[in-house]
Chains A and B, each alone.
Chain A
Amino acid sequence: MAQPLASKTLLEMPEMPEMPPGMAAGNVAQTLRLLRSSMPEAFRSRLRSARELDRDNREAAGEGAFRTAVPALDRLLDGGLPRGQLVELVGGRSSGRFSTLLAVLAAATSVGEAAALVDLGDGLDPTAVLTLGADLERLLWLRPTRLKDALAAAEMLLASGFPLVVLDLGQPPVRGGRGVEAAWLRLARAARAHDAALLVGAPYRVSGTAAGVVLKAERARATWMGQGASPRLLAECSSQLVLEKRRGQLPGRTEGFTLAAPGAPRPAVAAPVLPEARPRVREERPALTAAPFLRRAAAG
């Protein structure tokens, strides 16, 4: 995090050297350059432009961050997805990574922001994201087939002013491997230049030093309703997010989160399965008639 020009710093500022000749009038940019070059190194390295200072201050205050409506993510990121940074979410199969990405998109579009999903794995089910509360009219969905194209597309989207771009690499094998680090750095720079939030979901670390924040979704633990030979029903998945990297913070913070299976009875999701809930679920279950996504639709 940038250090603001505190009064202490100003008090410690050494005496200014003589003004270079020809500085009083004329070209402002040249004057500023001369002024900057005449300062001692220790002071010069702390200088910020007004824009940088404003951005640093907003970041420090947690303003402008995207509230994601995923409480665990918001808590780990101190308020939401930071703008102007590449945030990488790493997670293997059934870790809740894709659900988290979709929840972020749903939260952003539901408040009226435009968002884009660059879906390298081509795994989006429009019904699923609609169920999460997304406004599909504000969601742009791209289905590239190569990582190179996905990175280029994400950069174009950032440059065109999308405030939130989500790039998901799908499940391994990822076509294109980890990509070139220079491309990730370009992407991070584009996010910073346009003050946009960039969330990258990947099965393994890909963005190298370009990521400002790295989170890891641990393998989820599934909870099933029903026991033994009786019919089962997927109730929920529990996992936890681990903060692996964040500039200016120590890594290692964790937050648990639970994702309810679509169509599962809500009480079973909110709390561990209650003993009296079991028979009711068994009775309600219309065996051999409804696929999970049909149940999801019925549950609204």
Chain B
Amino acid sequence: MGSPRTACLLLPLFPLAARLRSEPELTREALVVVEGNGNAARVVAATRAARAAGVRPGLSLPQARALCPKLVARPRDEECERAAQEALLEVAEAFSPRVEDAGEGTAYLDLEGLERHYPGPTPELDLGRSLMAAADAAGLPARVGIATSKLAARIAAGLPDPPVLVPTGEEAAFLAPLPLQRLAPEVNVAGTLERWGVRSVGDFAKLPASRVASRLGRTGRELHATARGIDPRPLIPREPPPAFHEGMSLEWPLVALEPFLFVGRAALDRLCQRLESSGYAAIRLELSLRLEPDGHQERAIALPAPTRDVKTLLTLVRLELEARPPGAPVAGFSFAAHPDRPREAQLSMYGPAALSPDKLATTLARLFALLGPERVGSPRPMDGHSPERFNLVEFTPPPPPEVRREPRAGRGLLAVRVLRPPLEIEVITHGAGPEGSAYQAPLEVRTPASEEAVKRPRVEGEVKVASGPWGLEEDWWADDPVGRDYWDVELAGRGLYRIYRERATGVWYADGIYD
């Protein structure tokens, strides 16, 4: 078995690539990403069109504008960069279970065992091409280098004509002709070494290790080792993140909902694409708003079932913001989707068809948005005897039976249509019992005139037959005990009702229609 191979997935000009992923319409423009404020802002990265006009990293923004008057400038955006880095790691994780997050548009993959998926004569080359194609599909123009050490893989990824492969054991020979800046651009020792007359990695590797260590310290010793192709740093796999993030800082603060939803939709599109590529769906969506001039708001939208339907999520965001407007211009936003496995269904050959879990989740989320969560669910009876009480639970139907059954013969029972809330009525009674007692049978029923009563079914008429009273006592130990005397009454030509008299107040109510 050979040495474990490592691939480096590198996103060149990372701040620019991250910005273009969020605003792809700027790809062909002369765009620069700057760091800093006002005239002190420095160009960090520039597009091809800007570079053609002479704009280089390190120039100040006024200098860059002098070179290219139509220059579009964008500040570095942490949200965009975080989302792009996460997306890059997710592309890598689609290929290998062991992925290291090296930050700033760099990810390392452990390729052990992956060559079996590419049976051609050049498995590593095919793998590298597939990696680049997958990254490109995610809106990330990444490059790939494959070597035995992480350092060699990263340097190979930075070379033209990717994917670049470095054969095992040839790391030192591969690195030797390269300029010293390639070795560690972030460590500024190249200037010192050039003053010593050392110009290439190969020249540096020929120096005695002890002398380098005594002059350049620990950094120099490590650099010398890497120049000789020795990279002892192991690959450190990352833990999967608890949430997927997408967002961006806005060029202008937004005060209206529609423009926000326009940019929000693009971010949700990217978020759902990432969820899908990872095999997840969102069970909870969090929206973080950065407000102008200062301030921050967090919103959380719980979903009834895991979904990755952009339209549904956008509708829920719209409803949330309409219900509780931020109250200040929005300067930036971030969505965080908490992942969960989407529901799966087993197809049945002989039984009833199961509902598509994806469609069901989307429909439930849309129904939540349309009617409100307290009006959608699976009904359950509650402990106790008050008929108007009920419980609603999440609708998660069990899998259908494997074989279709014939329905049992119906019980032919008369059901009561509950009136929620109970309808207050006036009842004329008579009977042998004392005035106001339970034994006073209803003789006539009327609905008192009120604005509310106009919107409710009218319950009135002479009582033809009355059956009762049926006592109900509940929660006698609590502060608000229930004490009622129920009657079933048939009104002349008006139907069958269930009415009751509240013992505490003596007020009559109709709470159901036998229908």
Contact = CB atoms under 8 A, between A and B. Distances in A.
B360 A293 contact: no
Given A233-B467, A288-B469, A222 B513 contact: no
A129 B353 CA distance: 23
B392 A161 contact: no
Contact of A291 (B366, B371, B413, B471): B471
A141 B410 contact: no
A114 interface: yes
B398 A137 contact: yes
Given A94-B513, A143-B371, A171-B513, A160 B356 contact: yes
A82 interface: no
Interface stretch (B23-31, B89-97, B283-291, B375-383): B375-383
Given A171-B513, A261-B514, A129 B410 contact: no
B398 to A, nearest CB: 6
Given A98-B417, A153-B370, A172 B457 contact: yes
Contacts of B466: 232
A132 B387 CA distance: 16
Nearest to B348: A112
A243 to B, nearest CB: 19
B352 A160 contact: no
Interface stretch (B124-132, B324-332, B494-502): B494-502
B380 A126 contact: yes
A136 B407 CA distance: 15
A74 to B, nearest CB: 10
Interface string A53-75: 00000000000000111110000
B73 interface: no
Contact of B351 (A67, A97, A112, A131): A112
Contacts of A144: 370-371, 375
Contacts of A98: 415, 417, 513, 515
A262 interface: yes
A124 interface: yes
B488 interface: yes
B446 interface: no
Among B356, B418, B486, the most chain A Cβ lie within 10 Å of the Cβ of B418
B441 to A, nearest CB: 10
B494 A93 contact: yes
Contacts of B376: 140-143
A185 interface: no
Among B380, B396, B411, the most chain A Cβ lie within 10 Å of the Cβ of B411
A139 B411 contact: no
A90 to B, nearest CB: 13
B363 A157 contact: yes
A123 B409 CA distance: 24
- The B interface, classified by DSSP as helix, strand, loop or mixed, is mixed
B355 A160 contact: yes
A111 interface: yes
B404 interface: yes
B362 interface: yes
A294 B513 contact: no
A160 B360 contact: yes
Contacts of B380: 126, 136
B350 to A, nearest CB: 11
Nearest to B470: A291
A237 B490 CA distance: 11
A289 B471 contact: yes
B363 A107 contact: no
A102 to B, nearest CB: 5
Nearest to A80: B407
A142 B304 CA distance: 14
A94 B514 contact: yes
A152 interface: yes
B143 to A, nearest CB: 43
B370 A149 contact: yes
A231 interface: yes
Interface stretch (A24-32, A204-212, A252-260): A252-260
A125 interface: yes
A113 B515 CA distance: 25
Contact of B415 (A121, A132, A136): A132
A88 interface: no
B238 interface: no
Nearest to A106: B410
A97 B417 CA distance: 10
A128 B412 contact: no
A148 to B, nearest CB: 10
A137 B400 contact: no
B385 A149 contact: no
B438 interface: yes
Given A129-B415, A142-B371, A67 B407 contact: yes
B385 A293 contact: yes
Interface in B21-70: none
Interface in B463-479: 465-467, 469-472
A127 interface: yes
B102 interface: no
A251 to B, nearest CB: 24
B410 A69 contact: yes
A122 interface: yes
Contact of A93 (B367, B397, B486, B515): B515
Contacts of A292: 416, 470, 486, 488, 498
Nearest to A266: B411
Given A123-B419, A130-B381, A110 B408 contact: yes
B470 A288 contact: yes
Contact of B352 (A113, A137, A222, A291): A113
Among B370, B371, B413, the most chain A Cβ lie within 10 Å of the Cβ of B413
Contact of A234 (B411, B420, B467): B467
A84 interface: no
A143 to B, nearest CB: 4
Interface in A147-165: 149, 152-153, 156-157, 159-163
A295 B470 CA distance: 10
Contact of B414 (A127, A163, A260): A260
A187 to B, nearest CB: 15
A269 interface: yes
Contacts of A136: 378-380
24 contacts: A68-B407, A70-B410, A70-B412, A93-B494, A96-B515, A102-B415, A124-B418, A125-B387, A125-B512, A133-B411, A137-B397, A138-B398, A153-B370, A157-B363, A160-B355, A162-B355, A171-B513, A222-B496, A262-B416, A288-B438, A291-B470, A292-B416, A293-B416, A294-B385
The 10 closest A-B pairs by CB, nearest first: A94-B495, A93-B495, A69-B410, A123-B417, A160-B363, A259-B414, A126-B379, A98-B515, A107-B407, A112-B400
Given A114-B354, A160-B359, A290-B470, 7 more contacts: A112-B400, A112-B404, A133-B410, A149-B370, A262-B413, A292-B486, A293-B416
